[in-house]
Amino acid sequence: MIGTQQRSDLQHAIENACERLVTMVANAPELNVQVPDTPKWTARQAFAHVVTVTPRYTAGARQTGRWVDAWPHLAAMNDEEIAAAGPLDVTEVGSFGPQAPEYVFHGGAKVAADAALRCLLGEFEIHGRDIARALGHPWTIAPAHARLILDGAATVMPGVVNPATAAGHTATYELRIRGGTTHFWAFRDGRFNIVDELRRPDVVLSADPVACLLVFYGRRSQWPEILRGRMLAWGRRPWLALSFVKRFHQP
């Protein structure tokens, strides 16, 4: 669960991102254009995904809704729900209040319903950016929003591990989000765990929140961010930072 102030900040962030996305889509003269970051979708389909995914978060709080047991199955479910979606009503996106019950998220990770809304914010910001690029519109992700999304993604990461690329991997990581939370993670022979603290992590990563978000979500290469100093790594085995993202399925 999250604190009252962060819950309020999160709700305002979701409302802000939702309003920007809905306004952009409602005023777009053409939505049947390919989205560069998700090339199998048009802008219309990407927005349909956001519309269909939003109710999952309130359904999860009621212990209902559809959630996949393994991350690779998610793409097929998304496509199925987009295909079944009727005419898009932009007012459909909204009406999701923070709730405290826990439920099982995609991939089997357990998450508190209010904290999971940080992942919903990610749906708005990441797909909003995807659609904006397709339409030739600007889209800026605020660092505060990126920090909230990264905190949400961190809670569900155990379910996002890619067994093929994580197999046999043993290492410890400390991720310092600039201006935000520090996360501690450990791989033991391919098994991933969130830990409370690490005395001597193999890798310490310091990252600008927006750069980290876009790299983690596969929207930007890590190399330009490293060259600009937005992502730095040190420790006993700093080279492991270069392959860290590859050990997870792309959100």
Per-residue pLDDT tens over the stretch 224-233: 999 999 999 9
Determine phi and psi for 220, rounding to 5 degrees: -150, 145
- Cβ-contact 157, 248 below 8 angstroms: yes
d(CA 123, CA 118): 9
Alpha helices in the chain (DSSP H): 4-26, 43-61, 74-84, 113-135, 143-156, 163-166, 209-216, 222-227
Share of the chain above pLDDT 90, in %: 68
- CA torsion, ordered 175, 2, 78, 190, to nearest 10 deg: 40
When mean pLDDT is compared across 15-19, 21-25, 90-94, 98-102, the lowest value belongs to: 90-94
Per-residue pLDDT at 7: 81
Q: Which CATH number applies to 164-247?
A: 3.30.1050.10
For residues 184 and 154, give the distance between their C-alpha atoms in angstroms, rounded to a whole number. 10
Confidence band of 83 (pLDDT split at 50, 70, 90): confident
Residue 207 in this model has a pLDDT that exceeds 70: yes
What torsion do the CA atoms of 137, 26, 52, 141 make, to the nearest 10 degrees? Answer: 30
Within the chain, all domains assigned CATH 3.30.1050.10 are found at: 164-247
Confidence check: pLDDT of 97 > 60: no
Range in 43-57, 121-135, 179-193, 231-245 with the lowest mean pLDDT: 43-57
Flag whether pLDDT at 203 surpasses 70.
yes
Q: Which fold has domain 4-156?
A: Four Helix Bundle (Hemerythrin (Met), subunit A) (1.20.120)
> What is the pLDDT confidence band of residue 143, given thresholds at 50, 70 and 90?
very high
